[in-house]
Amino acid sequence: MNDALQELIAIAGRHARGRRTRTAVPRVTIGRSEVPTPPLPELCQPTALFVLQGTKSVLIGDRTLRYSAGSCFVYAVETPATSQLIEASAANPYMAIAFSLDIEVIATLLIDHKPAAGGDSFVTYPADEELLDAWRRMLRLLDRPDEIPVLAPMLEREIAFRLLQGPQGAKLRQLARADGRLSQIRRATQWIRAHYNEPIDVTELARLAHMSNAVFHRHFKAATAMSPIQYQKQVRLLEARHLLIAQPRNAARVAFAVGYESASQFSREYARQFGLPPARDAARLLAKREAPTLEVD
C-alpha cells in the first residue's frame, strides 16, 4: 500500500469519532464505519470524496459509482444518491475523507490555471501522488492544531488546484464559472430544493439556467444522472423522511406537505425508495434512534 495512503488511514483512524466526524480543519470531514450498511438515501453536497479504506457503492440516477481504497470522486452539484458500504469491518473499517468544495477558491484558481480536459462525470478515479501528498499534509494538521489557521487555507487551495488538474477538472471549472453549464444547472437544482413542494415547470427552470429546453435537459441529466422531475421526487422523498421522524403518525399530512397530491402514490414511491411504507420506516428509524443522512461521508 502507498505510504501516503497508509499514513492517511492512521491519522483518520486516530481522529474519527463515530460514523461522521467534523474535524478541526475547516471543510474536512472523516467518515468511518466498522460494519457494511444497507442502501442509505442521502443528498450529496458539492464535495470531493476520497476513500482511504473499504469499499462503497453509490447509485446516482441510473449510474452506479464504486469506490475502493485510493479512489476519488467530485460531486459538483447537490445530488440525491443512495450509498451503501460494501466492505467494512472492525479489523479494516471503511474510512473516507470528505472535502467540502469552496467555489470561490476554485474560481480564483481559474484566473491563472487551466483545468485538465473533461471526462465522464460519473466515474471514480485513483488519486495521484500529488493529491495524496496534499491530503496527507492537510490531515497532519489534526495532530498540530495550532498550525491549522495558517496552513489549512494554503492546503485547501492546493487540494482544489490538484482536483482541477485531475480527470474531473473541467467539471469544477464549469461549476466555478458564473456562465459555466454546471453553475447554471446548480441554479436550477437550488430552486428545486427551495421549492420542492411546488409544481415544477421545466421551461421556467431552463429559462433560469439561461438555456433552451433541449439543452437544459441534456446538461441537467449530465450533471445529476436524472431528469428535473426525478430530481424533485428524490428531494421530496428525502424531506418527507425527515418530517416523518417528527410526525411518525401523519404520513398523509407529510405527503401533502412535500407536494404530493395523492397519499397512496406517496406511499408507493416512498416504499420503493426506502424499502418500507412511510409509517413503518419512521418507526424503524425511531427505534434505532437513527436519522437519515443528508451528507456524503
pLDDT in tens, 24-57: 999 999 999 999 998 889 999 899 999 999 999 9
* Domains contained in the chain, number: 3
Question: CATH number of the domain that 144 lies in?
Answer: 2.60.120.10
Q: What confidence score (pLDDT) does residue 176 get? A: 80
Q: What confidence score (pLDDT) does residue 24 get? A: 96
Q: Residue 109 — very low, low, confident or very high, per pLDDT cuts 50/70/90?
A: confident
Determine the structural domain holding residue 183 and report its residue range: 178-225
Q: What confidence score (pLDDT) does residue 117 get? A: 56
* 120 in the same domain as 201: no
Q: Residue 115 — very low, low, confident or very high, per pLDDT cuts 50/70/90?
A: low
Q: Percent of the chain beyond pLDDT 70?
A: 92
Q: What confidence score (pLDDT) does residue 133 get? A: 96
Burial of 267 (0-12, 13-18, 19+ CB in 10 A): middle
* 57 in the same domain as 201: no
Residue 294 covered by a domain: no
- Residue 87 confidence (pLDDT) above 80: yes
* 238 in the same domain as 117: no
187: left (phi over 0), alpha (psi -120 to 50) or beta: alpha
Residue 29 covered by a domain: yes
Residue 296 covered by a domain: no
* 63 in the same domain as 37: yes
Residue 132 covered by a domain: yes
* 14 in the same domain as 119: yes
Q: What confidence score (pLDDT) does residue 295 get? A: 41
Q: Residue 235 — very low, low, confident or very high, per pLDDT cuts 50/70/90?
A: very high
C-alpha cell at 255: 405527503
* 135 in the same domain as 209: no
- The more confidently predicted of residues 174 and 260 is 260
* 166 in the same domain as 102: yes
Q: Where among 109, 141, 174 does a domain terminate?
A: 174
Q: Residue 291 — very low, low, confident or very high, per pLDDT cuts 50/70/90?
A: very low
* 214 in the same domain as 238: no
Residue 293 covered by a domain: no
Question: CATH number of the domain that 245 lies in?
Answer: 1.10.10
pTM: 0.82
* 144 in the same domain as 24: yes
Residue 91 covered by a domain: yes
153-166 pLDDT per residue, tens: 999 999 999 998 88
* 99 in the same domain as 16: yes
- Residue 193 confidence (pLDDT) above 70: yes
C-alpha cell at 286: 425511531
* 244 in the same domain as 218: no
Which of 6-15, 59-68, 110-119 has the highest average model confidence (pLDDT)?
6-15
Q: What confidence score (pLDDT) does residue 294 get? A: 39
Rounded CA separation 24/75 (Å)? 22
Q: Where among 225, 243, 263 does a domain terminate?
A: 225
Residue 295 covered by a domain: no
* 66 in the same domain as 146: yes
Residue 44 covered by a domain: yes
What own/partner pairs with CB < 8 Å and gap ≥ 24 does 57-60 have? 57/83, 57/84, 57/86, 58/82, 58/83, 58/84, 59/83, 60/122, 60/224, 60/225, 60/226
User: Over the chain, what is the mean pLDDT?
Assistant: 89
